[in-house]
Amino acid sequence: MAQLLLVEDDTTFSKLLSNFLGKHGHQIKVCSNLKEAKEALSHNPDRPFEVLMLDYRLPDGNSVDFLKTLRSEGNRTAAFIMTSFHDVRTAVTAMQIGAFDYITKPVNPEELLMVLREALSKGDATGIKTAVKTKTSVKTDKQSLDYIEGKSKISKQLYEYVRLVAPTDMSVIIQGESGTGKEHVAKSIHKLSKRANGPFVAIDCGSLSKDLAASELFGHKKGSFTGALMDKMGQFEAADGGTIFLDEIGNLGYDVQIKLLRALQERIIVPIGATQQVKVDVRIIAATNEDLMANAATGDFREDLYFRLNEFKIEVPPLRKRGEDLGIFIQYFVDKANQELDRNVRELSKEVMDVFQKYDWPGNLRELNNVIKRLVLLSKEEIANSSALPAEMITSMEDQQKPAGSDLKALQETHEKEMIEKVLQEVRYNKSKAAKLLNIDRKTLYYKIEKYHIE
Ligand SMILES: Nc1ncnc2c1ncn2[C@@H]1O[C@H](COP(=O)(O)OP(=O)(O)OP(=O)(O)O)[C@@H](O)[C@H]1O
C-alpha cells in the first residue's frame, strides 16, 4: 500500500481516481490546487508521500513550475504529470526537471497502474540517476549495454564518433534534445574506454537543488552548514577511477561551475567545510539540450568551463532525423514491451505506422518507448491498432499534414511526399525497388527525396 498525493481540480475525476486507487490498496490524499498540495506536503512528515500525481493545469498555476520549485527545495518524491495530449511537449520538459513520467488524459486505468508501479519501484527522483560500481554490479552492466545503434547514416556517424573518442581521456559534451539517448551515448563511451572497470556515476543536474548541488558533487564535512549532520562523500570521489556523467549541465549554478572547472583543470576537489584537498581521477562527460555556447556568450555559463568541457562534442540527432532507424526502434521497443508486459504484439497496424511516420516525436526515443509501451499494454491482439493510440495523436497528425486552403500544387506535393515515404518504408529504403514501384527513374526519386527533405 502506497501513500499518494493527487492534485487535480476536476472533482469528479479525482473521486473516480481515488476510488479506483483505493480499491488497489493505496491511500490517497486529494488536493484541488497547488496551495493545498504545498500544505499537504509540509504537514505530512510522519508518513511521507511516495508518489505525487499532478494534473498539469491547476487553478493557481501549472504543475511543472510547482515541481521545479519542489526540486529546488530538495524534495525528491517521485512524481508524474497528467496532461492532455496537446501538452505533451510540456510534459517532456517536466521530465527534464525530474518528473518520473507523464500520462495523457483520458487516463487509462491499466496504464495508470503501470506508471504508478514503475514510479514506486524506482523510489524517489533523486538527482543521482545511477551509481554503477561496475565491478560488483554485473546486472547493471548488462542493462547499460541494452541498446541499439540504428542503421541510418546519421547514426553510423554518431557511433563512429563514440568509438573514436571513447579510448581517449577527453572531456565530452553531448548535445541533443530531451530523450534522444544522451545518457546511453555517455554509457557507451564509458564502456569502450580504459575506465570501463571503474564506476559510471550519472547525475541529473536539473533536479539537484541549487543549495545542495556543491555538496552532492564534492561532498561536505559534518557541521559545515545546517543539515550537514555527518561527513558526506561527494559523487566526484564516488566516481574516482571512472566516469562522471553530468546531465543537463547548464543548470549548475555559477559557484558550482567554478569548482567544477578546478576539478577539471587540477584534478582536485575540496569538500564543503574541508581544509584538505582531495585528488580525483575522473573523466567528465556532460550533456545538455541547450546551446551552451550561446549561454556562455550571454554569461549564463562560464566560457572557460565550456571550452574545457568541449574537448570533443557529439550531437545526438532527434528521432525525426533518424530516417530508417524509426522502424528499427519501433521493433526493438515492441519486443521489449511484449517481454515486460507479457503481451504478444507481432506488428503495428498500417494506420499506427502512418501516424508514427508523420509524428515529429518531440520527446524522441523516450516518447516512442512510452507510446509503444502503452500501445502494447492496451493491445490484447497480435496486431496493435490505432484505437490504442491517444485519439488526439491521430487528429493532430491529420491537421498537421494537410495544407490549408485550395492550393492545388501544395496538395499534390503533400500527397506525392506521403506516397514516396510510404513506398520507401514498405521496401525498407531500397531506392531501386521504390523507384520501380513508383514508376519513376532512380534519378527522379533522388531528386524528390532531396526536394521533400525525406530522410
Ligand atoms: N540507443 C538506444 N537504444 C535503445 N533505447 C534507447 C537508446 N537510446 C535511448 N534509449 C531509450 O530512450 C530513453 C531516453 O534515453 P536517455 O535517458 O539516454 O535520453 P537523454 O537524451 O539522456 O534524455 P534527457 O535529455 O531527458 O536526460 C530511455 O528510456 C532509453 O532506454
Give residue 132's pLDDT band: very low, low, confident or very high (50, 70, 90).
very low
How is residue 276 annotated by DSSP? S
Q: At 394, which CATH number?
A: 1.10.8.60
Confirm if 109 and 20 have CB atoms less than 8 A apart: yes
Are 412 and 289 in a shared domain?
no
Span 394-427, pLDDT tens digits: 766 666 665 555 566 777 778 788 888 888 888 8
Are 164 and 246 in a shared domain?
yes
**Whole-structure pTM value:** 0.69
179 lines ligand 1 (CB under 6 A): yes
Compare 251 and 283 and report the one with higher pLDDT: 283
Rounded to whole angstroms, what are the CA distances from 402 to 137, 350, 417, 418, 422?
A: 51, 19, 12, 11, 16
Are 176 and 290 in a shared domain?
yes
Ligand 1 centroid to residue 306 C-alpha, Å: 24
Span 332-352, pLDDT tens digits: 999 999 998 888 999 899 989
Are 39 and 79 in a shared domain?
yes
Are 155 and 280 in a shared domain?
yes
The sign one gets for the Cα dihedral 327, 329, 330, 332 is: positive
User: Residue 154 corresponds to which cell in the numbers above?
Assistant: 546519421
Q: Name which residue sits closest to atom 25 of ligand 1, judged by CA.
A: 178
The answer, yes or no, to whether the previous bond of 167 is cis (omega within 30 of 0) is no
For the ranges 209-218, 233-242, 355-364, the one whose mean pLDDT is highest: 233-242
Give residue 142's pLDDT band: very low, low, confident or very high (50, 70, 90).
very low
Domain that residue 405 falls in:
321-451
423 lines ligand 1 (CB under 6 A): no
Q: What is the total count of domains within the chain?
A: 3
Phi and psi based region of residue 241 (left: phi greater than 0; alpha: psi -120 to 50; beta: remaining): left
Q: Which of 129, 184, 185, 190 to mutate to test the pocket of ligand 1 (most atoms within 8 A of CB)?
A: 184
Q: Give residue 455's identity as a one-letter amino acid code.
A: E
Q: Which of 366, 370, 372, 373 to mutate to test the pocket of ligand 1 (most atoms within 8 A of CB)?
A: 366
148 lines ligand 1 (CB under 6 A): yes
In the prediction, which pLDDT does 86 show?
59
Mean confidence (pLDDT) of the chain: 84
Task: Give the C-alpha separation, 57 to 220, whole Å.
Answer: 39
Q: At 236, which CATH number?
A: 3.40.50.300
Task: Give the C-alpha separation, 318 to 360, whole Å.
Answer: 9
With CA atoms as reference, report the closest residue to 94 among 69, 124, 115, 74. Answer: 69
- Index of the ligand 1 atom closest to the CA of residue 148: 3
